[in-house]
Structure 1
Amino acid sequence: MAMGGGGGGGHVRGRRRARKRPLSEINVTPLVDVMLVLLIIFMISAPLLTVGVPVELPKTEASAVESDKPPVTVSIDQEGAIFVQRDETAYDALTDRVAEAAEGTDRDELSIFVRADGRAPYQAVARVMARLSAAGFTKLNLITDTAEAAPASVTAPQPAPQPASEPEA
């Protein structure tokens, strides 16, 4: 009789210990969910931070430029106005403003992105690039949109019909 009562009491005591035992596993699912949401937010907002002046870039087939350091952006709108980062700048103050925006970076290592509107005068773009090059900035990059690939089945242009010559009488 004594054995039957002692066995039941030990069983109840074993259950209570299992319930009071602390949970030692960390649930990482909420952490992963939050990190993925933050990653998506930063991926969407990062490209929006680099564009300052609205310009319509010309289309080319060039590939993207890789850079280690953040570049200085010089923009030229369709009227030929010059902007360093987002601030409008006079042509005479261009090199000083680019040097200020570079914050002490060596001119040989500084990348300058020139973003010119496709409708901007060619003279304005050429003058800006020549001025920057003469001031010692060697890494000048023209920023363009990538053009869509040409279709594979392009037909050759047909020659224009020649007017029929009249017979001499």
Structure 2
Amino acid sequence: MSASTSPRRGGKGGKHRRHVAYKSDHGIQPAQANSDINVTPLVDVCLVLLIIFMVVTPMLGRGVAVKLPTLTTATMHKEGDQVFVSVNDDGAWVETDMYTEKEPFLARLEEDLKIASGKALANDYKGPILFVKGDKDTQWGRVKTVMEWITASNAQMQDVALVVEVANQSGPPT
């Protein structure tokens, strides 16, 4: 065989073939698909978010700092320099009289507060305390309405206090 017709040497009559490592005679064979999740970027993002929340959370305030009122018990005041208003589903009660309308309620409240104001001044207090007792089964809207009536009045009082039931102190704190 002559050098010009040799298939390996690429002569005129021969077929020239070159071997490429990633090709075969039947075409390109793609690699198998990798279905594993790459968790490195996920971990990086989670760590960055964790650091951001750890830095920002202490800076978040829980409301505006205000002076809170102190607890006052009814026993600190003498009998008569306190006025009690009770609210339930039937209406608003001043002492033992029930009212469902604003004007008669405020007239009675102002009268009782004037009497209690005189007694409070006699006992060296600034003024009477108005205690509002709302039934826990009554809708909050009723109690709120009565509170709005009280604040809209011109009655002179030292404080308005909401009466709550104190939990049993012998049990574990809640």
TM-score, normalising length: structure 1: 0.45
Structure having greater relative contact order (Cα 8 Å, sep ≥ 6): 1
